[in-house]
Amino acid sequence: MGGASDVTILVWRRKLGGDEMLQVADGKSWRLPYVREIGLRHSVVEGRIGALAEAPAGFDPARTHRWVRVDVDDPDVATAFAQSGAAVVVWRRAQHGPEVLVLHRSAGGPDYDGDWAWTPPGGALDPGETHDECAARELLEETGLDLPITRVQQPPNRFAIFVCEADAEHEIVLSDEHDRYEWVSFEDACVRCQPTAVVDSLHAARPYFS
């Protein structure tokens, strides 16, 4: 993969009859566009498809193009969706300042304390799913919360970060993916959550605690 402008990007849009992805004309053939040709906010992914973006309503790349049905059975397409996702930083007001909800992943056992042991709710995009839909779904599946979410403004990354506010009376209902949760101070959350990418998501959400 070359520089950012040479990264192949999978641009897709929601359609009632099935989601579609964008192809652009290249001589006598069609191909996926490059990031430099589209200019959309995107998430970086690994593999032959290097980035993933959802086309906003009315999007026109201003060049010869066509929309074709997304093939979710295509390994490259499936991999691109699987390597992008969303996380939701849930916070609530407390007497000594904001508290952040962190979940402990059950796969490593109750004593596991390494990378990805403690994180906010989140997960990978399902094929054809928007980041907003992914965030709302993961929040509901992993915590039982159905709350308004706000997307955090951040540089392009493989995960879109959202934030939402909970109240003291909201009950947390965990899925089998996690074995416990805690409400901790923002500072404690930054210490507990690993790796650095998780801490970065917390800092991106912090300005929205108000």
Q: Give whole-number Cα distances, 17 to 60, 70, 200, 203, in Å.
A: 20, 11, 38, 39
DSSP 206: G
Between CA 165 and CA 172, with CA 166 as vertex, the angle to 5 degrees is 135
pLDDT of residue 2: 38
- Is 156's pLDDT higher than 70? no
| DSSP SS3 for 98 | coil
Query: Identity (one letter) of the amino acid at 181?
Result: Y
- At the fourth CATH level, the homologous superfamily of domain 85-208 is Nucleoside Triphosphate Pyrophosphohydrolase (3.90.79.10)
Q: Name the residue among 137, 150, 29 with its Cα closest to residue 89.
A: 150
Three-class DSSP category at 105? strand
Most confident of 9-18, 74-83, 115-124: 115-124
Neighbouring residues of 53: CB distance < 8 A, sequence distance ≥ 6? 9, 10, 11, 12, 38, 40, 41, 42, 43
pTM beyond 0.85: no
78-87, 109-118, 183-192, range with greatest mean pLDDT? 183-192
**Where does the chain hold its CATH 3.90.79.10 domain(s)?**
85-208
Residue 6 Cα to chain centre, angstroms: 23
The model's pLDDT over 160-177, given as tens digits with 9 standing for 90+, comes to 999 999 998 999 999 999
